[in-house]
A and B are shown apart, each in its own frame.
Chain A
Amino acid sequence: MDPSILASVLDGILRAGLASRYAIGGAVAAIHYMEPFLTYDVDVFLDLPESPAGLVDLGPLYAHLQARGYRPQGETVMIDGIPVQFLPVHEDLLREAVREAREVGGGDKGEGQAPGLRIMRAEHLLAVMLRTGRPQDRVRFQKMLTEATPDRALLKGILERHGLRDTYLDWGGPPL
């Protein structure tokens, strides 16, 4: 897998004005900080423009991708042989996670500046796991706490801002 192709496609979405920001979350983002594990989809969170009624439309995004040869498959779009799921940001925690994501890779590739992949910070991923609360989130949460060495002050602030401190303690998070 060549991440630079996905990075270029995602950068193209921003350049086309279809979203103001994006960040990779979910398992692939977690793998950036942890021992690799089996996964199949790439989750891309997008800050999409909303209509005055608060609705978002993925239609223009799908049309943009299809025009470039990336076909939908189920709830995903195949990009360079990878199923990518586009998820609209729908709450403040995700909005903050997308806004504060880090750019990984990219840089000068000889033909100008290549975009990197924007990946959610470990501290936001932990908070999203707490918010999502599935059994696999609980398992990944424990592993990530030990393998990712999150910034404790940053994590504490995120948990407090988004009302997740009690869940964090309930899931066995160490004192911050």
Chain B
Amino acid sequence: MISPGTPEALFREALVAKEHRRARLARLPFEEKLGIVVELQRLANVLRASAGRPLRPVWGDAARV
């Protein structure tokens, strides 16, 4: 929850929150991180599809076909 403040203060607060989020993600167990990579691969394919670009294989999908 971000409390009201000047635009500069809110911006600084948002940057600090972003750093905390990065630090939290960096501390996740390796397996969870790999799961996030797979989600990023799926998201990237959504963006590729919307831009008419060819899709890239998502980890594990080929093994399940």
By a beta-carbon cutoff of 8 Å, the part of chain A in contact with chain B is: 1, 3, 28, 31-40, 78, 80-83, 104-105, 117, 119, 147-148
Asked whether B11 is an interface residue with its Cβ less than 8 Å from the other chain, the reply is: no
User: Within the complex, which residue of B22, B37, B56, B59 is in contact with A31, where a contact is CB–CB below 8 Å?
Assistant: B37
In the bound assembly, the distance between CA atoms of A80 and B64 in angstroms comes to 8
User: Within the complex, which residue of A32, A78, A82, A148 is in contact with B30, where a contact is CB–CB below 8 Å?
Assistant: A32
In the bound assembly, the distance between CA atoms of A119 and B36 in angstroms comes to 18
Residues 34-65 of chain B, each 1 if its beta carbon lies under 8 Å from chain A, else 0: 11111011001000000000001101111110
In the bound assembly, the distance between CA atoms of A133 and B46 in angstroms comes to 31
The answer on a CB contact under 8 Å between A34 and B30 is no
Asked whether B1 is an interface residue with its Cβ less than 8 Å from the other chain, the reply is: no
Write the nearest CB–CB distance from A23 to chain B, whole angstroms: 14
26 A/B residue pairs, CB under 8 Å, sorted by A: A1-B59, A1-B60, A3-B31, A28-B37, A31-B30, A31-B33, A35-B26, A36-B36, A38-B41, A38-B44, A39-B37, A40-B41, A40-B56, A40-B57, A40-B59, A78-B62, A78-B63, A80-B63, A81-B59, A81-B61, A81-B62, A81-B63, A83-B57, A105-B31, A119-B30, A147-B26
For chain B, which range describes its interface: under 10, 10 to 19, 20 to 34, or 35 or more residues? Answer: 20 to 34
In the bound assembly, the distance between CA atoms of A30 and B58 in angstroms comes to 19
**Interface contact tally, CB-CB below 8 A:** 64
Residues of A within 8 A of B62 (CB): 78, 81
Residues of B within 8 A of A37 (CB): 37, 40
Residues of B within 8 A of A40 (CB): 41, 56-57, 59
In the bound assembly, the distance between CA atoms of A12 and B40 in angstroms comes to 30
Other contacts beyond A36-B28, A81-B59: 11, CB < 8 A: A3-B30, A3-B31, A31-B37, A32-B30, A36-B33, A37-B37, A37-B40, A38-B40, A80-B63, A81-B62, A147-B22
